[in-house]
Each structure stands twice: as C-alpha cells, then as structure tokens.
Amino acid sequence: MFTWPARVYYENTDAGGVVYHAEYLKFMERARTEWLRAFGFEQTSLLRERNLLFAVANMEIAFLASARLDDLLNVSVILEETKRVSLTLTQTITRNDPGGQVTPLIRARVRIAMLSRDFKPVRIPADLLNRLQPLLDGQPWIIKH
C-alpha cells in the first residue's frame, strides 16, 4: 500500500466547515500522481516523452465520514488489477484521531485508462507494467527517490 499525507485547509471546506465532497477527488488524484512518481513515472514525462497520459475512466466512491478543517488525512493507493489499457486501484482516505483511532472517511475503486495525447485508449507500456507487476504478486517494493 502506498500512502500520501494530506492536510485539510480552509479552501477544502464548505459553509458547514466540513470537507466539500469534490475535494476528496483532488486528494485521491494527488496520491495517484505521487504513487506513479514513486515508481519513476511522472505524468509530465509520460506526456512530454511518450505522448501518453492517464485519465480516470470510472470511479465508485463511498463517503463514510466527514473530514474537517486542519485534519491530517492519509490517502492510500493499492493496485488491484492491470489490463492492456487500464489499471484498477483501491483508494482510501482515513484520519488519525486522538487516542490512535483510525477513522475511514472514503473508500473508492478507481479505474484509470492510458490514453494517447489525442485522448484515444492505448496499451500501457511494458516497462510500466513490469514495474507494477510485483505489487500484484504480493512482493514488497522499494520507492526510489
């Protein structure tokens, strides 16, 4: 599991002081981007050097509890499946509460598709799939900085 920390700022909240529902999508997008970066694949490089990009093709999301201003969240990414042109991920957002309790806030299943620069589905490059394969095999992985 890859986890990315996120802080809730005033700009993320609605008039009621809770995180506006669309903001969770931003937190998950950032975590997916950093997850790819951890494997040596930056979105900008994929586009610039290979004319490829990932786009969300489908998302199922469950809102379980609300986050509030100044909460520190953990946004996780778990690779569930690879196909020729897409990856299926499970993403969760949790909050560490006082006393060490972890509260699940969001649970989502996300399918991202590989697209060409002109937004047509294309095969995911073999080198990217090869780097991700150990995750599906249950092998530990090391992030290269």
| β-pair partners for 115 | 53, 121
CB atoms closer than 10 angstroms to residue 42 = 14
CB atoms closer than 10 angstroms to residue 73 = 23
Q: Rounded to whole angstroms, how far apart are CA atoms 22 and 14?
A: 10
Let me know: does 98 contact 90? Beta carbons within 8 Å.
no
Residues designated catalytic: 14
